Amino acid sequence: MPPPQFSPIRSGLGKGARDAFGPSAAVMTAGFIGFGALASDSGMPYWIAAIATALMWALPGQIILAEMVAAKAAVIGIVLAVWVSAARFLPTGMSMMPLMRMQRHETLKKLLVAQFVASTSWVLSMRNFPNMPEAERAPWLTGFGLACTTQGILLCGLGYLLAGAVPAEVNAGLVYVTPVYFTLLMFGDIRSAAIGVAVTCGAIAVPLTHLLVPHWSLLGGGVAGGTVAYIILRARRAKQGGAR
């Protein structure tokens, strides 16, 4: 009997699904239970919360959705607010796509894979992709994303059911476990001066911007921190080039 043929697609999907049940799963458990409770408190039907989890898979955008639904905001306002919150995925997606080496004509494949670009998957991809065969990278992200999204939908339902049994302070704390985990993951995975400078500048700029314009702290701080980091790194490269 001939040995089974190796399939990079099957191998990548399996590795991604297994990685989704690592430390990131425990963090997402807290985050999505918190979101489910928040969605219930806002009056959002569970099916909308589940669809939001499947299609958005980004807790900041989902929290904005729940809070604006609770405030009875206009639909166009909700769409614009969630859309702006997702702008951060443009640079992460642009940095991940070249590592997966997909062909120019594979548009549907690119769209499928882009659906699973998130903060956690970006950090783990940047860490794992260099040591992974190219043919396994897109399947890994797909397997990771599918497993995480499935967990998120189920955990959102659990949080929805537990909404009245858990104090509001605990629900709010659960939601913010994910960004704290992502921040620690970022600092723990700093392997180059560029990443270190960018993370440090952002960590300093956002709180300072919050003191000046609280409603624009994240967006304004991100732009300011990123700009300062770019100037520092550009000057550093120019200095190194002149030294040669």
Whether the per-residue pLDDT at 242 is higher than 80: the answer is no
Average pLDDT over residues 183-192: 63
Question: Which pLDDT belongs to residue 216?
Answer: 81
Question: Which pLDDT belongs to residue 228?
Answer: 92
- What does R_g of the chain's alpha carbons equal in angstroms? 20
Question: Which pLDDT belongs to residue 181?
Answer: 67
Q: How many domains does the chain have?
A: 2
Q: Is residue 1 part of a domain?
A: no
Question: Which pLDDT belongs to residue 2?
Answer: 46
Tell me, yes or no, whether 196 and 137 share the same domain.
no
Which among 69, 88, 89 has a CA at the least distance from the CA of 78? Answer: 69
pLDDT tier at 191, thresholds 50, 70, 90: low
pLDDT tier at 34, thresholds 50, 70, 90: confident
**Helix orientation angle between 23-42 and 119-128, rounded to the nearest 10 degrees:** 170
Tell me, yes or no, whether 34 and 87 share the same domain.
yes
Tell me, yes or no, whether 179 and 199 share the same domain.
no
Whether the per-residue pLDDT at 192 is higher than 70: the answer is no
Instruction: Please give the Cα distance from 191 to 54 (Å, whole number).
Output: 32
Whether the per-residue pLDDT at 223 is higher than 50: the answer is yes
Final residue of a structural domain among 154, 183, 212: 183
Q: Is residue 152 part of a domain?
A: yes
Which carries the bigger pLDDT value, residue 104 or residue 121? 121
Tracing tokens 């970006």 back to the chain, one arrives at: 122
DSSP state of 2: P
Whether the per-residue pLDDT at 44 is higher than 80: the answer is yes
Final residue of a structural domain among 183, 198, 219: 183
Whether the per-residue pLDDT at 125 is higher than 80: the answer is yes
Whether the per-residue pLDDT at 188 is higher than 70: the answer is no
Question: Which pLDDT belongs to residue 187?
Answer: 64
Question: Which pLDDT belongs to residue 163?
Answer: 78
Which carries the bigger pLDDT value, residue 232 or residue 183? 232
Tell me, yes or no, whether 157 and 239 share the same domain.
no
CB 19 within 8 A of CB 124: yes
Domain span at 207: 190-244
Question: Which pLDDT belongs to residue 184?
Answer: 67
Instruction: Please give the Cα distance from 100 to 110 (Å, whole number).
Output: 10
